[in-house]
Chains A and B, each alone.
Chain A
Amino acid sequence: MDILSLFVIIPILTVIGIMITKDAKQTRVISAIGMGLQLILAAYLVYAYLSARQAGDLAEMLFRADYVWYANLNIHYAVGVDGISVAMIALTSIVVFAGIFASWQVEFLPKEFFISLILLSGGVFGFFISLDLFTMFLFYEVAVIPMYLLIGIWGSGPKEYAAMKLTLMLMGGSALLLVGLLGIYTNSAPDGGPLTFNILEIAKVNIPIEAQRMFFPMTFVGFGILGALFPFHTWSPDGHASAPTAVSMLHAGVLMKLGGYGAFRVAIFLLPEAAHELSWIFIILTSISVVYGAFGAIVQKDLKYINAYSSVSHCGLVLFAVLMMNKTAMDGAILQMISHGLMTALFFALIGMIYGRTHTRMINEMGGLMKVMPFLGVAYVIAGLASLGLPGLSGFVAEMTIFFGAFQHVDVFHRVVTIVAVSSIVITAVYILRVVGALLFGPIKNDHFLHLEDAKWFEKLSTVTLILAIAAIGIAPFWLSTMIGDSLQPIIDKLTVIIP
Chain B
Amino acid sequence: MTNFSYTVLIPLIPLFVFLFVGLLGHKMKPIVSGLIGTCGLLIAAILSYFTAYQYFFNTEKIDGTYQKILAFNTIWLQFTEKLHVDLGVLIDPISVMMLIVVTTVSLMVHIYSIGYMKGEKGFARFYAFLSLFSFSMLGLVLATNIFQMYIFWELVGVSSFLLIGYYYEKPSAVSASKKAFIVTRFADLGFLIGILILSFNTGTFDFISLTNVNGAAILTGAGASFLGLSVMTWSLIFVFMGGAGKSAMFPLHIWLPDAMEGPTPVSALIHAATMVVAGVYLVARLFPVYAISAPDGLLVVAYVGSFSSLFAAVIACTQYDIKRVLAFSTMSQIGYMMVGLGVSKYGGEAGLGYMASMFHLFTHAMFKALLFLGAGAIIHAVHSNSMKDMGGLRKYLPITHITFLIACLTIAGVPFLSAFFSKDEILTAAFHHNMPIFIVQMFVAGLTAFYMFRLYFRIFWNKDTHYHHTPHEAPITMTFPLIFLAIASIFSGYIPFSQFVSSDGVPFHSELEWTVAIPSILVGLIGIGIAFVLYKKESASSQKIAISLKSFYVAIYNKFYFDEIYIFVTKKIIFNYISRPVAWFDRHIVDGFMNSIAWVTNAVSFRIKGFQSGQVQQYAFVFVSSAILLGIFFIYLYSI
A residues near B (Cβ < 8 Å) are 165, 168-169, 230-235, 237-238, 292, 295-296, 298-300, 327-328, 368, 370-371, 385, 388-392, 396-397, 400-401, 403-405, 407-408, 418-419, 422-423, 425-427, 429-430, 433-434, 437, 440-443, 477-478, 481-482, 485
Asked if A299 and B193 make an inter-chain contact with CB atoms under 8 angstroms apart, the answer reads no
Q: A231-B590, A295-B582, A404-B80 are in contact. Are A443 and B171 (CB under 8 A)?
A: yes
Selected A-B contacts with CB under 8 Å, 24 pairs: A165-B594, A234-B591, A238-B591, A295-B574, A295-B582, A328-B79, A385-B158, A388-B185, A390-B154, A391-B150, A401-B79, A403-B196, A405-B79, A419-B193, A422-B193, A422-B196, A425-B185, A426-B185, A429-B181, A430-B182, A440-B168, A477-B76, A481-B78, A482-B78
Asked if B181 and A390 make an inter-chain contact with CB atoms under 8 angstroms apart, the answer reads no
Contact partners of A169 in chain B: CB under 8 A: 594
Within 8 A of A (CB), among B553-594: 570, 574-575, 578-580, 582-583, 586, 590-591, 593-594
- State A35–B117 Cα separation when bound (angstroms): 47
> Chain B contact residues: over half helix, strand or loop, or mixed?
helix
Asked if B189 and A423 make an inter-chain contact with CB atoms under 8 angstroms apart, the answer reads yes
Instruction: Name the distance in Å between B284's Cβ and chain A's nearest Cβ.
Output: 22
Contact partners of A235 in chain B: CB under 8 A: 594
How extensive is the interface on chain B, given as a class?
Answer: 35 or more
Q: A422-B189, A437-B174 are in contact. Are A407 and B77 (CB under 8 A)?
A: no
Q: Is B83 among interface residues, defined by CB-CB distance under 8 A?
A: yes
Asked if B158 and A437 make an inter-chain contact with CB atoms under 8 angstroms apart, the answer reads no
Chain A residue at minimum C-beta to C-beta distance from B79: A404
Contact partners of A481 in chain B: CB under 8 A: 77-78
Q: Is B448 among interface residues, defined by CB-CB distance under 8 A?
A: no
Contact partners of A397 in chain B: CB under 8 A: 77
Tally the A-B contacts, defined by beta carbons under 8 Å.
127
Contact partners of B181 in chain A: CB under 8 A: 429, 433
Partner among B151, B185, B575, B591 whose Cβ is within 8 Å of the Cβ of A298: B575
Chain A residue at minimum C-beta to C-beta distance from B594: A234
Contact partners of A404 in chain B: CB under 8 A: 79-80, 83, 196, 199
Asked if A408 and B200 make an inter-chain contact with CB atoms under 8 angstroms apart, the answer reads yes
Q: A391-B151, A401-B79, A403-B196 are in contact. Are A299 and B575 (CB under 8 A)?
A: yes
Contact partners of A292 in chain B: CB under 8 A: 582, 586
- State A230–B80 Cα separation when bound (angstroms): 30
Contact partners of B598 in chain A: CB under 8 A: 165, 168
Chain A residue at minimum C-beta to C-beta distance from B192: A422
Q: Is B186 among interface residues, defined by CB-CB distance under 8 A?
A: yes
Q: A433-B181, A441-B165 are in contact. Are A390 and B158 (CB under 8 A)?
A: yes
Chain A residue at minimum C-beta to C-beta distance from B26: A374
Asked if A296 and B174 make an inter-chain contact with CB atoms under 8 angstroms apart, the answer reads no
Q: Is B67 among interface residues, defined by CB-CB distance under 8 A?
A: no
Asked if A429 and B76 make an inter-chain contact with CB atoms under 8 angstroms apart, the answer reads no
Instruction: Name the distance in Å between A423's Cβ and chain B's nearest Cβ.
Output: 6
Instruction: Name the distance in Å between A384's Cβ and chain B's nearest Cβ.
Output: 10
20 new A-B contacts at CB < 8 Å, known A296-B583, A433-B181: A168-B598, A169-B594, A234-B586, A298-B579, A299-B575, A300-B583, A385-B158, A391-B150, A404-B80, A404-B199, A405-B80, A422-B193, A423-B189, A425-B192, A426-B189, A430-B182, A430-B574, A434-B178, A443-B169, A481-B78
Asked if A391 and B168 make an inter-chain contact with CB atoms under 8 angstroms apart, the answer reads no
Asked if B583 and A392 make an inter-chain contact with CB atoms under 8 angstroms apart, the answer reads no
Asked if B178 and A396 make an inter-chain contact with CB atoms under 8 angstroms apart, the answer reads no
- State A390–B153 Cα separation when bound (angstroms): 10
- State A370–B583 Cα separation when bound (angstroms): 29
Partner among B154, B188, B586 whose Cβ is within 8 Å of the Cβ of A296: B586
- State A168–B574 Cα separation when bound (angstroms): 34
- State A368–B165 Cα separation when bound (angstroms): 13
Q: Is B155 among interface residues, defined by CB-CB distance under 8 A?
A: yes
- State A168–B597 Cα separation when bound (angstroms): 11
Q: Is B608 among interface residues, defined by CB-CB distance under 8 A?
A: no
Asked if B583 and A328 make an inter-chain contact with CB atoms under 8 angstroms apart, the answer reads no
Partner among B155, B200, B579 whose Cβ is within 8 Å of the Cβ of A391: B155
Interface-centre pick from A419, A437, A485 (highest chain B CB count, 10 A): A437
Asked if A441 and B75 make an inter-chain contact with CB atoms under 8 angstroms apart, the answer reads no
Chain B residue at minimum C-beta to C-beta distance from A410: B200
Contact partners of B186 in chain A: CB under 8 A: 426
Contact partners of B152 in chain A: CB under 8 A: 391
One digit per residue, 1 when the CB lies within 8 angstroms of any chain A CB and 0 when it does not, for chain B 306-317 equals 000000000000
Asked if A433 and B182 make an inter-chain contact with CB atoms under 8 angstroms apart, the answer reads yes
Interface-centre pick from B77, B170, B590 (highest chain A CB count, 10 A): B77
Contact partners of A370 in chain B: CB under 8 A: 168
Q: Is B477 among interface residues, defined by CB-CB distance under 8 A?
A: no
Q: Can you list the 10 inter-chain pairs with the closest CB atoms, starting with the nearest?
A: A298-B579, A234-B591, A391-B151, A441-B168, A295-B582, A441-B174, A299-B579, A429-B185, A404-B79, A433-B178
- State A231–B168 Cα separation when bound (angstroms): 39
Asked if B75 and A478 make an inter-chain contact with CB atoms under 8 angstroms apart, the answer reads yes
Contact partners of A234 in chain B: CB under 8 A: 586, 590-591, 594
Contact partners of B168 in chain A: CB under 8 A: 370, 440-442
- State A400–B155 Cα separation when bound (angstroms): 15
Asked if B78 and A407 make an inter-chain contact with CB atoms under 8 angstroms apart, the answer reads no
Instruction: Name the distance in Å between A386's Cβ and chain B's nearest Cβ.
Output: 11
